[in-house]
Amino acid sequence: MQSDTGHLVDMEKLSEGKTEDEIKNLQEELSNGGYEEIPDSHIEAAKKKLAGKSEAYVSLTSGGKLSKLAALRRKEKKRRHIDSLGTKEYNRRRSERKRRSTNAD
């Protein structure tokens, strides 16, 4: 699942009829696109959401199991970003973005 967009894909369906190299390339492409594996505790919810399809979108605000997982992953990603920049620098950049967006209006 790509936690920023809520895009959920079924690797089993996507890899049907493909060679090992093609599957490996697909996994690498998805990983580079920000997709992460669903933990075992959420597999049933993912299968239910997919309902036999190869892809689906999870609501980012519904409060369901997958929605909460996506929110948690986004929060962790933001925390890692803040930690890498430092709180002061993060807030400075955030203020600058806000200033630019209000000036654009």
Rounded to an integer, the average pLDDT of 42-46 is: 95
Do the domain assignments include residue 1?
A: no
Do the domain assignments include residue 55?
A: yes
pLDDT of residue 14: 87
Rounded to an integer, the average pLDDT of 70-92 is: 94
Closest CA to 70 of 23, 13, 5, 10: 5
Please report the DSSP string for 29-61 in residue order.
HHHHTTB-PPPGGGHHHHHHHHTT-SEEE--SS
Listed in sequence order, the residues at least 6 apart from 51 whose beta carbon sits closer than 8 Å to its beta carbon are none
- The number of folded domains in the chain is 1
Reported as a pLDDT band with limits 50, 70 and 90, residue 105 is low
Do the domain assignments include residue 28?
A: yes
In angstroms, the CA 42 to CA 58 distance is: 13
Q: Containing domain of residue 26, as a range?
A: 7-104
Do the domain assignments include residue 2?
A: no
Rounded to an integer, the average pLDDT of 26-55 is: 93
Provide the whole-model pTM. 0.76
In angstroms, the CA 40 to CA 35 distance is: 16
Reported as a pLDDT band with limits 50, 70 and 90, residue 82 is very high
